[in-house]
A and B are shown apart, each in its own frame.
Chain A
Amino acid sequence: MCRLALKTANTPFSPYEVLTAMEAMQEGYDGSGLGLLLRGLDFEDFKYNTKYPILSGIAHTEQAWSRLNSFMEERGFELKYDHEFETIPSLIEAKDRFRYFLRAYKMSADLESKSQTEIDEELMLTRLALRRNGEENGGDLTAFSFWPDVAMIKEVGWPLEIGNALTLNDNRIRARVCMAQGRQNTNYGINLYACHPFFLQGIATMTNGENTAFVPIRDWLLGKHFPGYTGYQSDSEVFAHILHYTVRQLGLPLETYKHIITPLSTKELDAHPQGEFLKGLRNTCRRLIIDGPNAVIGTLPDETCILAMDQKKLRPATIGGRDGAWAIASEMCGVEAMVPDRNPAFDFQPMREHTIIVPPDRKELTIWSQHDPFPLPQAA
């Protein structure tokens, strides 16, 4: 079983805090890897303009590094900031790590003048082209994300050790939202891309558990022929893509995500105020129904955070916090490590029907039950 931790706070904090929460939950995972997503970035040595997309990943060789530089240049991106990690290579298991990169780029004037949808598409296509470039060259280049105000780090090894190896405790980089997952993918082979969280056009999720309906869901998403629906080295990647499909492609409210991945039974929908619509939604999105034990934790571009449970609540997750700072973790000790100055009596463990939403203002969390009506989109 892997362990998950998410912290969201009004004041940027060091990702190392979340790694200490991972350490608190160390009995629950095998320490085979770390995936880290930072959103709402704040750099010590750079005044970051949130319009600049940030490219994060790993260049495994010097050639890859120079290919990356020329690739970005040719594509019209101007380098504005290059965060150099103080690395301690001896703490990293893998030896082919030439450079971890986290770089802010300015878009070309031509791209900036385009519509938001076109910009979003270009950013995604650029990341995918880089990924393909790496794959075509023996896997010497790994690109995790290319998106404004988002950075990602993935590595094989013990989470805290990786944090130490990258000296994440030096406060040079901080964020308002940080997601961490402590296990390499073990379902379908070790692969850097297979580590949670998964990211697509500003939407990220990580999951604790196994998605046994992976293959039919993957097949359906691939059939959409959307360039970002690719990868699938992990059965959990589809959770991020389903959220992307729900929110970005269909333009449905966040609450419908739960109705799509774990729809209510017909009997329950018969008693639901929006039952008829939801039955139709369940039919039309039938191939996106997940299965198996899962706790899905996600973040959206506006820094909203969510936590949704599988239909039977077969995985643990707790949320706790206070006005301005909230933590979601697989175990209560994880929450305790991230937001100790809260009233633990208000910690909440969602049940099968719940989606927890922490809105961007972070004042209080919303416990939304699937049996409750939700703000219908214009469509309904």
Chain B
Amino acid sequence: MVSARSVSVTPSSLSYTDLPWIVQHREDRCTLCGHCTAVCPKEAIYLAYRRQRMPKLDVLKKSRGNEYRTFVGIRQKTTMANACIGCSMCAMVCPNEAIMPVPNTNEHRTLFFNNQKGEPNKRGGRRNVSGPTLLDRIMFDRISMLTDPALDAGRHEFNITTTLGRILDPAEFLKRQKEGGWIPPTREIFPFVIGSMSFGALSPNMWLGLLQGVAYCNEVLGIPVVMGTGEGGCPPWVLKSPYLKYIILQIASGYFGWDEIIRAIPDMQCMPAAIEIKYGQGAKPGDGGLLMWYKVSKLIARLRGVPEGVDLPSPPVHQTLYSIEESVMKMIQTLSTAFDHQVPIYPKISASTSAKSVLNNLVRNPYAGGMLIDGIDGGTGAAYNVSMDATGHPIASCVRECYLDLVTQGKQNEIPIFAAGGIGKNGNVAQNGMALIMLGASGVHIGKYIMQAAAGCLGNEKNRCNVCNVGICPKGITSQNPKLYRRLDPDLVAERVSEVFMSINTEIKKIMAPLGRSQSLPVGMSDALGIGDKAVADRLQIKYVC
């Protein structure tokens, strides 16, 4: 044993067995092609020359000695900056199946060192809690056995669109119709919306692929899907294109990209689907948006009207406003006016115990076109780990409470509630979304699921990958580095987007048909829901079944 002092051991020293992922490498299969080391987004592995001592004993000559073998192999770095994230790109590119990362089944030590230089852990992804979510456990149990014939999901006609935008009370609608008054704009959309992911958070190829897919869904498949831009503007060619009608433009506290948008208004061929005002986000409630400097490329800088290569944190609040009440009054009305009162304007807030008070404000604002509530399981491109993991409110009970509050006031048809945050976390996207719809949501927003299903995002809730924040996305989904995002073919993303929505469309029918529903989306059909958990059933006012 060598003396301890001759080995460099510091408090932060780690061995590869202390890391969350251990790279297993089989030298007998390795061809030394170098693909793995070139592709690794973290530069976690490197080719290295090693020397192996081969003891040699010649009994006849009565001599002892050593021979040394030199070999080349792959080694794993143990610094925090280069810790393997388990993305498996090395395994994907290896021609010989010689390398792969395996999760460390023992507890790993990096948890205690991810605050080096005094910076707490920041990452992309969402709350790192795995396993079935509450939404996964909800069953649709009111099967229509009483009367026949039952509906046929494959053959009958289904109306499964939802309405985005303020809807008037019937009496008020007729009154305004008679007097030629303003009827607030509405959109008939598919109830699963591609949630707000900004041009900046997403790579240009990802964004283009999504938009192509959305256009295909609308124009070829007849599925009226819309997508949100997130905060960060919208490419000018899109603003002036007929595809703008499929886009929900977002304005948030950084107001990034809005110079371009306002300037483009006179040249718009059609109005956007809606305007979303972001006050809060489920993944990091009470925190502003964040685009880290790595991702502020020349293109992004131009779109957002900022210098290149600087961090772009949006403030947690809209600085020009004093309170949400004032905000609701001023921003919604201003934006509605800017778009000639022809575009639904709605706020997005973090799920919270105070969500109802925002909702009641909106009820009193004739320009408010809905409310989007984002729950704790929502995803983000960049946030502090503590915000993601520990801050926020689950979506289900928040949506249910808000809906029941509207029911008491008889306003549930007037202000549509949209829900987001963890829908499809475990792949059950249609089931999760329909459960929320039956709890009272008029529709749902899906972001992370779309990245996973349409572009092959590798991130998960066991902290695999989750490096969206630093622009090294190995799939090119959330990177602004052309070398990375060229890996992502927009046409293939578009193809996956259409496949995903065709499949959701079918699954919605498969859920609705046994419930005897086909005429309208079963918003608030809570009598169809059951769960094998009494406490949850009581809280959500649905049936306890066992």
A residues contacting B by CB (< 8 A) are 1, 186-187, 209-210, 212-216, 219-220, 222-225, 245, 249-252, 262, 265-266, 277, 280-281, 283-287, 289-293, 311-312, 314, 377-380
Interface presence of B468 (CB below 8 A):
no
Q: Please choose the segment from B13-21, B303-311, B478-486, B521-529 that sits at the chain A interface, where 4 or more of its residues have CB less than 8 A away.
A: B521-529
**B518/A312 in contact, CB under 8 A:** yes
Known: A225-B410, A286-B520, A289-B519. A212 touches B144 (CB 8 A): yes
Q: Which residues does chain A contribute within 8 Å of B188, judged by CB atoms? A: 266
Q: Which residues does chain A contribute within 8 Å of B408, judged by CB atoms? A: 223
**B523/A312 in contact, CB under 8 A:** no
Known: A213-B519, A284-B167. 15 other contacts (CB 8 A): A187-B146, A213-B522, A213-B525, A223-B410, A223-B411, A252-B174, A280-B177, A283-B167, A287-B413, A291-B518, A292-B516, A293-B149, A314-B149, A377-B174, A379-B178
**B517/A213 in contact, CB under 8 A:** yes
**B517/A212 in contact, CB under 8 A:** yes
12 A-B contacts (beta carbon < 8 Å): A212-B515, A213-B519, A214-B527, A215-B524, A220-B413, A222-B407, A252-B174, A311-B518, A312-B518, A377-B174, A379-B175, A379-B177
Q: Which residues does chain A contribute within 8 Å of B411, judged by CB atoms? A: 223
Interface of A is mostly: loop
A289–B158 CA distance with the chains assembled, in angstroms: 13
**A215/B526 in contact, CB under 8 A:** yes
Looking across the interface, which residue of chain B has its beta carbon closest to that of A214? B527
A177–B56 CA distance with the chains assembled, in angstroms: 114
Residues from 143 to 180 in B contacting A, C-beta threshold 8 Å: 144, 146-149, 156-157, 159, 161, 163, 167-171, 173-175, 177-178
A249–B173 CA distance with the chains assembled, in angstroms: 13
Looking across the interface, which residue of chain B has its beta carbon closest to that of A186? B146
Known: A213-B520, A215-B524. A293 touches B147 (CB 8 A): yes
A283–B517 CA distance with the chains assembled, in angstroms: 18
Q: Which residues does chain A contribute within 8 Å of B523, judged by CB atoms? A: 216, 287
**A250/B177 in contact, CB under 8 A:** no
Interface presence of B409 (CB below 8 A):
yes
Interface string of B399-421 (1 = CB under 8 A from A): 00000000111111100000000
Interface presence of B183 (CB below 8 A):
yes
Q: Which residues does chain B contribute within 8 Å of A210, judged by CB atoms? A: 144, 146-147, 516
**A250/B412 in contact, CB under 8 A:** no
**B159/A265 in contact, CB under 8 A:** yes
Q: Which residues does chain B contribute within 8 Å of A285, judged by CB atoms? A: 170
Looking across the interface, which residue of chain B has its beta carbon closest to that of A293? B147
Interface presence of B186 (CB below 8 A):
yes
A223–B170 CA distance with the chains assembled, in angstroms: 13
A213–B527 CA distance with the chains assembled, in angstroms: 10
**A212/B168 in contact, CB under 8 A:** no
Known: A223-B410, A225-B410, A312-B156. A250 touches B174 (CB 8 A): yes
Q: Which residues does chain A contribute within 8 Å of B522, judged by CB atoms? A: 213, 216, 291
> What 4 A-B pairs are tightest by C-beta distance, nearest first?
A223-B410, A212-B516, A379-B174, A210-B147
Most buried by A among B148, B170, B174, B183: B170
B residues contacting A by CB (< 8 A) are 142, 144, 146-149, 156-157, 159, 161, 163, 167-171, 173-175, 177-178, 183, 186, 188, 407-413, 515-520, 522-527
**A223/B412 in contact, CB under 8 A:** yes
Among A222, A251, A280, contact of B183 (Cβ-Cβ < 8 Å): A280
What distance in Å separates the Cβ of A64 from its nearest Cβ neighbour in chain B?
33
Q: Which residues does chain B contribute within 8 Å of A262, judged by CB atoms? A: 519
What distance in Å separates the Cβ of A272 from its nearest Cβ neighbour in chain B?
15
A219–B411 CA distance with the chains assembled, in angstroms: 10
Looking across the interface, which residue of chain B has its beta carbon closest to that of A226? B410
Looking across the interface, which residue of chain A has its beta carbon closest to that of B149? A314
Q: Which residues does chain B contribute within 8 Å of A224, judged by CB atoms? A: 410
Q: Which residues does chain B contribute within 8 Å of A1, judged by CB atoms? A: 147
Looking across the interface, which residue of chain A has its beta carbon closest to that of B166? A283
A225–B413 CA distance with the chains assembled, in angstroms: 15
What distance in Å separates the Cβ of B344 from its nearest Cβ neighbour in chain A?
12
**A219/B519 in contact, CB under 8 A:** no
Known: A265-B157, A286-B413, A293-B149. A223 touches B407 (CB 8 A): yes
A378–B516 CA distance with the chains assembled, in angstroms: 36
A141–B171 CA distance with the chains assembled, in angstroms: 36
**A284/B517 in contact, CB under 8 A:** no
Known: A265-B157, A293-B149. A220 touches B410 (CB 8 A): yes
**B170/A291 in contact, CB under 8 A:** no
Among B170, B515, B526, contact of A250 (Cβ-Cβ < 8 Å): B170
A225–B408 CA distance with the chains assembled, in angstroms: 9
Q: Which residues does chain A contribute within 8 Å of B161, judged by CB atoms? A: 266
**A219/B412 in contact, CB under 8 A:** yes
What distance in Å separates the Cβ of A354 from its nearest Cβ neighbour in chain B?
16
A8–B75 CA distance with the chains assembled, in angstroms: 92
A280–B171 CA distance with the chains assembled, in angstroms: 12
Q: Which residues does chain A contribute within 8 Å of B170, judged by CB atoms? A: 245, 250, 281, 284-285
Looking across the interface, which residue of chain B has its beta carbon closest to that of A215? B527
A313–B381 CA distance with the chains assembled, in angstroms: 50
A290–B54 CA distance with the chains assembled, in angstroms: 84
Looking across the interface, which residue of chain B has its beta carbon closest to that of A221? B410
What distance in Å separates the Cβ of A218 from its nearest Cβ neighbour in chain B?
10
**B173/A292 in contact, CB under 8 A:** no
Q: Which residues does chain B contribute within 8 Å of A312, judged by CB atoms? A: 156-157, 518
Known: A215-B524, A283-B163. A249 touches B519 (CB 8 A): no
What distance in Å separates the Cβ of B87 from its nearest Cβ neighbour in chain A?
44
A266–B161 CA distance with the chains assembled, in angstroms: 10
What distance in Å separates the Cβ of B122 from its nearest Cβ neighbour in chain A?
43
What distance in Å separates the Cβ of B401 from its nearest Cβ neighbour in chain A?
15
Q: Which residues does chain A contribute within 8 Å of B518, judged by CB atoms? A: 291, 311-312
Q: Which residues does chain A contribute within 8 Å of B186, judged by CB atoms? A: 283
**A277/B177 in contact, CB under 8 A:** yes
Q: Which residues does chain A contribute within 8 Å of B413, judged by CB atoms? A: 220, 284, 286-287
**B163/A292 in contact, CB under 8 A:** no
Among A245, A277, A286, A379, contact of B167 (Cβ-Cβ < 8 Å): A286
A287–B410 CA distance with the chains assembled, in angstroms: 11
Among A187, A225, A290, A379, contact of B519 (Cβ-Cβ < 8 Å): A290
